[in-house]
Structure 1
Amino acid sequence: MTEILKEVAKKLLDYDIVLKVEFFGTKVRAYLVRGYIFDVYHNQTLGKYSYTLIKEDRRIAGWDNAPHHVSVETYPDHFHDVDGKIKPSYLSGDPLEDLDRVLNVVKNILGEV
C-alpha cells in the first residue's frame, strides 16, 4: 500500500457519507451510507487510476484512464455516468487532488439514486 492510498483513506473518513475504509493492495474501499461502496484504485508506477461507485455488485458510475474509449476528447481519461454513457473526464489521476471533485458527484448521485 502506498503513502498516497493511506492519505486517501484518511481523507475519505472526513466525508460524512463514509462509514469505514479497507485496503486491498493498490485499492482503498470505502463503505458508504445506504449500502454503496466507493473504490479508489491508484497505481502510480503504471499511471493508472479509477474511482468507482458500486451498489449491489453493479457499477453505478466511475472515472478511469483505461485506454479503451478513444473517441472521448479527454482520452484516455473518461467518466461512466449513471446512465452508462461515456463522457469526458477532467481529473488529474492523483486521488488526493481528485477526491473532492469525485466525492461531490458521488454525494449528488446518492441523493438522486
Structure 2
Amino acid sequence: MPHRTRLVRNAQLGHCRDCGNSIDRYPRADAAHGVRVVPLHPQEVPAAAIPVTARWHVSSGTAHPSHDGTPWCRIPHTALCPGRPAPAALTPQITTLRRHLALHT
C-alpha cells in the first residue's frame, strides 16, 4: 500500500494549455473530492478590485477560496484565460488583466 509522507507545499509552475500564459498550480483540500489542484494567476492583485467569489489566498502552500483579510489576493486563471470564454460578470480590473494576457497569447 502506497504511503504519502509529504504534501506538495509549493506552487507547481506551468503554462495554460489554452493560452500558453504562466500559471501557478496549488493544491486545494476539497472535502467532496479530496486534494485538487487550482491554477492561479502568478501575481497577487488588490483584493478590493476583485469580486469575493474570485478571491483566493495561499497559506502554507495550499490555496484557499475567499478572502483572508489581506489587501491582496490571487485570481483563478480560468477567470482570466483569454483562450476560454469570458465569465459572465467581469469587473473592469479582470477585463484589463484578460486583455493583458491576450497580448501574450
- Structure 2 length as normaliser, TM-score? 0.29
**Per residue, is there more helix in 1 or in 2?**
1
**Per residue, is there more strand in 1 or in 2?**
1
Larger Rg: 2
